[in-house]
A and B are shown apart, each in its own frame.
Chain A
Amino acid sequence: DTGVSQDPRHKITKRGQNVTFRCDPISEHNRLYWYRQTLGQGPEFLTYFQNEAQLEKSRLLSDRFSAERPKGSFSTLEIQRTEQGDSAMYLCASSLDLLGRGLGQYFGPGTRLTVT
């Protein structure tokens, strides 16, 4: 399967714990995006990378959130000191963007986080 993959698919954690999610984009894609989706809503942008550089962060991305893409391939999203309000589906997407010609963002299956 050459699509975007995410791990784990589900995570249950207690409030105050740290969690880390991984995303593996489509291999030839140079851009990687993180979104968060709560029930009944569309995905909301968190941050994105062009290769290994983190180019933009949303106001939704509080200090407790950090994302990395160390070698320009896979990415990790870490949430420190989780709160119940962090419960959501965390989606990763990737795209190939060359000279401004994007071909759409392709999403992974998501990681469902439940904070108890």
Chain B
Amino acid sequence: GQQLNQSPQSMFIQEGEDVSMNCTSSSIFNTWLWYKQEPGEGPVLLIALYKAGELTSNGRLTAQFGITRKDSFLNISASIPSDVGIYFCAGQLRRSSGSARQLTFGSGTQLTVLP
């Protein structure tokens, strides 16, 4: 089946630093999504990307859909303590009819922000 490789697995950064994480796939997707999950909670949608090459921002978060459709990255600028959590990428492949299919998730990047 499809596999998503997400890196790094974990990051320890100082408050105020910028963060970058990425996701690569062995096959193409036509939608990329980034989620954040905190302990005991479900993933929360941060950014959705629908077109190859698309660059989208949500506050301090910026994500890009790779041109090859096999990768995506997420940047967080000027990190703050509440950015702590696990960040997941997820790819989605739409059927030829246009209807969406299930998400395939990466294994997550654990982010720790040190004061």
Q: Which of A43, A95, A100, A101 contacts B43 (CB 8 A)?
A: A43
B74, CB-defined interface residue at 8 Å: no
Contact check, A108 vs B100: say whether CB atoms are below 8 A apart.
no
| Contacts across chains A and B counted by CB atoms under 8 Å | 70
In B27-58, the 8 Å CB interface with A consists of: 31, 33, 35, 40-45, 48
Which residues from A are CB-within-8-Å of B100? 31, 95, 97, 100, 102
Contact check, B105 vs A56: say whether CB atoms are below 8 A apart.
no
Given contacts A104-B45, A107-B42, A45 and B104 within 8 Å (CB-CB): yes
Q: Shortest distance in angstroms between A29's beta carbon and chain B's nearest beta carbon?
A: 12
Question: Which size bracket describes the interface of B in this complex?
Answer: 20 to 34
A105, CB-defined interface residue at 8 Å: yes
- The segment from B14-22, B76-84, B86-94 that touches chain A is B86-94
Q: Shortest distance in angstroms between B11's beta carbon and chain A's nearest beta carbon?
A: 16
Contact check, A102 vs B42: say whether CB atoms are below 8 A apart.
no
Contact check, B44 vs A42: say whether CB atoms are below 8 A apart.
no
Indicate with 1 or 0, residue by residue over B91-115, a CB within 8 angstroms of chain A CB atoms. 0101001111111111110000000
Q: Shortest distance in angstroms between B56's beta carbon and chain A's nearest beta carbon?
A: 12
Main SS at interface, chain A:
strand
Chain B CB within 10 A, most for which of A45, A95, A102 = A102
Indicate with 1 or 0, residue by residue over A40-67, a CB within 8 angstroms of chain B CB atoms. 1111110010100000101000000000
Complex: chain A residue closest to B105, CB-CB: A42
Contact check, B107 vs A99: say whether CB atoms are below 8 A apart.
no
Contact check, B102 vs A45: say whether CB atoms are below 8 A apart.
yes
Bound-state Cα–Cα, A86 to B45, Å: 26
